[in-house]
Amino acid sequence: MEFGPHLMLATLEGAVTAAVLALTAAGLSLVFGVMRVVNIAHGEFFMLGAVLAWWVTQAVAGPWGFALALVVAPLLVGALAVAADVTILKRLSYDPERTIVATIGLLYILQQLTLMTYGPDARPVVAPFNARIALPWLERGPDGWALTWPWGLGITTWKLTVIGAAGAVLCALWLFLARTRVGLVMRATQADREMATAFGVPVERVYALTFGLGAGMAALAAVLIVPIQQAHYLMGADPLLLSFIVVIIGGLGSLPGTLLAAVLIGLSDGIISVFFSPTLAKILATLLVALVLVFRPQGLFGARGR
């Protein structure tokens, strides 16, 4: 394949990464923004989503099984996160440093419990539909410009659906935060916790809901990606690292910044991974994050003075 089609393929793969990353990172960003909690266990919620999708599709075969997984996995993971919030985080009174240590513990508990029950194998989940679409490429032939169909350039319908679904869910999240009463209460808590308490906002319930919602979004992202990647008990590490990178570069707690950064990181990760080595892409991204935090703690797109 020549450079042009290769780049386009890398961009398409990057777009799928970006879509899933945007969902996962939006969950992390929401939790950090509203609760000021850095949730290290976020990647494990992602992993649980994928593993639950495998269980559900094993129990109920066919496309309905997958549709059921799309509903059941985020709900169960969200419920688990709410339980973790009430039993652990609430009792630490959301102290930033102690919650990090506790969520690290939670990470190991979830990961190792999955290892004990689900086992160390990577297992595939079949997408409900997965037709392949070959894409044309405009090329200058001996008789002028012509459309060609380079071998290997294409995308599957499932990948397109993933991108579309992620976009739809993010729009729904934005509408939820901007237009509903619960979203308003959440934003009020984010802006000023004490003032919100004074106005009678049940802050603890808002926190539990936010933590559940954030975890549910990670699980949803995982169900969408699991037909492309397989479900494995260690799969949470990469999404966690990438979401961190995205949330920090986009500005901690800022949702639009997070989305922009997700697209940027997803695309560049796809492109760098295709042309160079994936490890190199990750090294560059992690160093970028560290330097952004050191020199521009409000993030590349965040406003100053927050």
Q: Which C-beta is closer to another protein: that of 105 or that of 202? A: 105
| Residue found under tokens 């969408």 | 224
290 binds another protein (CB under 8 A): yes
* Contacts (CB under 8 A) with another protein, residues 154-213: none
Output 17 or 99, the one with its CB closest to another protein. 99
For residue 132, which of 164, 163, 158 has the smallest C-alpha distance? Answer: 158
Q: Does 291 bind another protein (CB under 8 A)?
A: yes
Least separation in angstroms between CB 95 and another protein: 9
Taking residues 89 to 128 in sequence order and writing x for each that binds another protein by CB under 8 A, - otherwise, the string is --xx---xxx-xxx-xxxxxxxxxx-xx------------
Given a contact cutoff of 8 angstroms between Cβ atoms, the answer to whether 33 and 190 are in contact is: yes
Residues touching another protein: how many (CB under 8 A)? 39
Q: How far is the CB of 177 from another protein (least distance, A)?
A: 23
8 and 191 in contact (C-beta within 8 Å)? no
Nearer to another protein, 126 or 282 (CB): 282
Burial class (CB in 10 A: 0-12, 13-18, 19+), 100: middle
- The yes or no reply on residue 38 touching another protein (CB under 8 A) is yes
Nearer to another protein, 58 or 277 (CB): 277
DSSP string of 119-170, one letter each residue: -S--B----S---EEE--EEEEETTEEEEE--TT-EEEHHHHHHHHHHHHHH
> Does 274 help bind another protein (rule: CB under 8 A)?
no
- In which residue are the tokens 């003032």 written? 195
Shortest distance in whole angstroms from residue 122 CB to another protein: 16
| Residue 289 is a binding residue for another protein (CB under 8 A) | yes
Among candidates 128, 157, 116, which has minimal Cα distance to 57? 128
d(CA 199, CA 297): 31
Residue 296 in contact with another protein, rule: CB under 8 A: no
Q: Rank residues 123 and 296 by Cβ distance to another protein and give the closer one.
A: 296
Q: Indicate the Cα dihedral angle 295, 282, 42, 90, nearest 10°.
A: -30
Residue 16 Cβ, how far from another protein at the closest point, in Å? 22
Judge whether 182 and 205 are in contact, CB under 8 Å.
no
To another protein, the closest distance from the beta carbon of 82 in angstroms equals 16
Contact 81, 216 (CB under 8 A): yes
> Considering the rule CB under 8 A, would residue 294 count as an interface residue with another protein?
yes
| Chain residues in the site for another protein (CB under 8 A) | 38, 88, 91-92, 96-98, 100-102, 104-113, 115-116, 241, 244, 248, 277, 279-280, 282-283, 286-287, 289-291, 293-295, 297
